[in-house]
Chain A
């Protein structure tokens, strides 16, 4: 079957040599019909759910009214961007967003890589698999439940941690209401929840490294650490770079829920971010245009950062997204 296919392909390719590239392209597509048909669903998915909604962004330039709809709403130009940038707490929102994002980048992002590498060194397969399963379970919990756990750990009234502190004779600490802890708790909770899940891709990357490389390294007398430095690490570098670039593109997206569950009026000062403001303004108060403008702003910043980071990465490591 495969042979037949190739033969046919060759003969067709030969006969179409003189025709234009376009028609040869269509012929090629036609010939590989089954494969292209399988592509259709994902194509539709991206058009319907990723590209069409982009046009909805025009409401950032309108005074959008849900009763009037996109077509009848009045155009207001850059009013909402104006309002956003002149919002008195805008600087605080942006600074908080960037700080928490930065924490995530230096703590949450490398954590799964570390975990994957550690798991990779575990010899006992059953132990490895058990640990792997346990660490990725939290991914399936909702943030509300995660908050419940954290509350039960840290509450000064019924929390375990404060129970231990009190038993040791210390003063109970109100972690969830203390502004010096809240960012660490937010980032830490995110790390605990997603670390195991995110390590899967790195485990796959490690598994993809050819065993012959390790063999060769061992022949040359490399110990496990040297094998890690010279084989494993370079092996996962492409995956690392790609994910890092994507993460940089999302530097202003922190994940709304993760922050919102910890947010109280007492810690707006350090934890109120663009995403939570969007929720308050858009969902609770119906400021659809304003929040679309925020989303638009975030996308543009993300896009610029992504392009820049990609160029830098290509220049430094020859790895990039495209």
Chain B
């Protein structure tokens, strides 16, 4: 009898499960997509409509709503959009497509002949418009109508959307191409009279001082000089001291190879091995989850760690909250130069957030570019990030006060998804973070701007060899296991050569060939 009750119950539960699972599906975010609040918003600038006397040029933009609630009715009728359209003398028709299933819905629309003039995407690597040659090449148009764009968007972002010298879209840059930084407890450094380390050896000396001199002042030797997380993640800048990252690619002896098999990686692993031997590396680096890692930092145990470049404000707030009695201070330091290595240091540059692709069927490409050109001006940035003066922000001299609640209530806060083209903007972030939070954020970004490893394969699709054998990737077991065993000292450093041979023979050579060919065709 019990069983008979149980089965329908099970059925019911399964149904509920299925329904809820489907519900979740619609919330899944695209990993590449920047959240709308993180600075993707943008405003059109006021100055220079392409041709003030002409009729406004009309065009359509398809963009992902990035899961922001959209207002009902026509978006172009909103005051905030009208304002921008007037400023730039365009008749723009933004069409939001739900973020989940964006790619599929786009395909459907385009297949049924509903072709926009502008299409928002992320990187151009997997984009069909580009692949099928439907994207307008923008080089000449940009020179003529997009001087601000060319000036304000860094070359690395342009490179990431350039195939064989042809610019295929307008990229929205990241705040800093070097997206990760080493953060250090400045108060610990001050307490021990340490300077910012310039080389990997000085970095080790700093960590040794953290280890031995009780900078947290609890009379116990419990300091963890440097901490990172499971699967060798969040140690990127330390690899980067030697010019390689596990996820970078690099030209070496006429081959495009991944960072994990580059000879410099051996030096980097030797460095990690030394750190582990001397107990400068968190001995739990293999098991640290993000929670445990955060907890260790917040408990005044960790001296240095790697995190996103713009997250200085985040750590400042965290430590203020968890260690209110201490005068904590966190700074980002430039990635030290690896001893015995000359060349760029830091993490692989990721240059692009979103990309706007213009179709070759667009009638007014010059008006479109002029609009984005205005959007990246100071005025345009304020518009897209803060909205309209008096309605969603107030301006007092040079001080902007943003009213996020009002922006949300008016249903205007989606505009960055379609019109955000600037990366990090000082005014905007000041208004959003407050002065001190902004300074903490800015410090990391300033440091990050001065470094980074070139990413020659930014626009490259994933090589087929990686899809066939995912274990070859830098998240696969081949690399992770070899690197870990070397760091722990279970295998000698020269095991690295064995790993490289193994990696190449298990399909790695195919991947190298694909990447090299792609690079030679597209550089």
Contacts and interface: CB of A to CB of B under 8 A. Distances in A.
Contacts of B3: 42
Contacts of A280: 470-471, 476-477
Interface in A145-178: 151, 155-157, 174, 176-177
B481 A268 contact: yes
Contacts of B296: 157
Given A177-B286, A281-B470, A151 B477 contact: no
A285 interface: yes
Given A88-B506, A266-B488, A41 B8 contact: yes
A290 to B, nearest CB: 9
A237 B461 CA distance: 60
Nearest to B4: A38
Interface in A94-133: none
- Chain B, interface residues (CB within 8 Å), range: 20 to 34
Nearest to B231: A265
B11 A44 contact: yes
A42 B7 contact: yes
Nearest to A172: B283
A176 B8 CA distance: 43
B230 A264 contact: yes
Contacts of A284: 470, 475
Given A41-B11, A280-B470, A281-B470, A265 B283 contact: no
Contacts of A272: 477
B292 A151 contact: yes
B479 to A, nearest CB: 9
B78 to A, nearest CB: 35
Nearest to A46: B7
- A156, A266, A280, A281: residue with the most chain B Cβ atoms closer than 10 Å: A266
B470 A285 contact: yes
Given A151-B292, A284-B470, A285-B470, A265 B483 contact: yes
A16 interface: no
B306 interface: no
Contacts of B7: 41-42, 45
Contact of B287 (A38, A176, A268): A176
B493 interface: no
Q: How large is the interface on A (under 10, 10 to 19, 20 to 34, 35 or more residues)?
A: 20 to 34
A268 B284 contact: no
Contact of B222 (A38, A44, A157, A286): A157
B398 interface: no
A174 to B, nearest CB: 6
B473 interface: yes
B425 interface: no
Contacts of B224: 157
Interface string A30-42: 0000000010011
Contact of B286 (A41, A265, A281, A287): A265
A264 B484 contact: yes
Given A38-B4, A44-B11, A157-B224, A264 B286 contact: yes
A41 B222 CA distance: 59
Contacts of B473: 285
Interface in A262-289: 264-266, 268-269, 272, 280-281, 284-287
B14 interface: yes
Given A45-B11, A88-B506, A287-B470, A264 B476 contact: no
Nearest to A144: B289
B228 to A, nearest CB: 13
A264 B477 contact: no
A6 B476 CA distance: 67
A272 B224 CA distance: 29
Contacts of B4: 38, 42
B126 to A, nearest CB: 12
Interface in B431-484: 467, 470-471, 473, 475-477, 480-481, 483-484
A5 interface: no
B333 interface: no
A204 to B, nearest CB: 12
B230 A45 contact: no
A284 B480 CA distance: 15
A176 B490 CA distance: 15
A38 B1 CA distance: 10
A155 B224 CA distance: 14
A266 to B, nearest CB: 5
A37 to B, nearest CB: 10
A89 interface: yes
B232 interface: yes
B10 interface: yes
A49 interface: yes
Considering residues A42, A155, A286, which has the most beta carbons from chain B within 10 angstroms of its beta carbon? Answer: A42
A106 B490 CA distance: 31
Contacts of B475: 284
A286 B467 CA distance: 8
B477 A268 contact: yes
A157 B481 contact: no
A282 B232 CA distance: 21
A281 B471 CA distance: 8
A45 B10 contact: yes
Q: Which of B231, B287, B483 has the most CB of A within 10 A?
A: B287
Nearest to B222: A157
Contacts of A286: 467
A184 to B, nearest CB: 17
A45 B18 CA distance: 14
Contacts of A266: 286, 481, 484-485, 488, 490
Contacts of B292: 151
Nearest to A276: B477
20 contacts: A41-B8, A42-B7, A45-B10, A45-B11, A156-B283, A157-B283, A157-B284, A157-B296, A176-B287, A264-B287, A265-B483, A266-B481, A266-B484, A280-B471, A280-B476, A281-B470, A284-B470, A285-B473, A286-B467, A287-B467
Given A177-B488, A266-B488, 12 more contacts: A88-B506, A89-B471, A151-B287, A155-B284, A157-B224, A176-B287, A177-B283, A264-B230, A264-B484, A265-B480, A265-B483, A268-B480
Per CB-CB distance, the 3 closest pairs between chain A and chain B, nearest first, are A285-B470, A265-B480, A265-B484
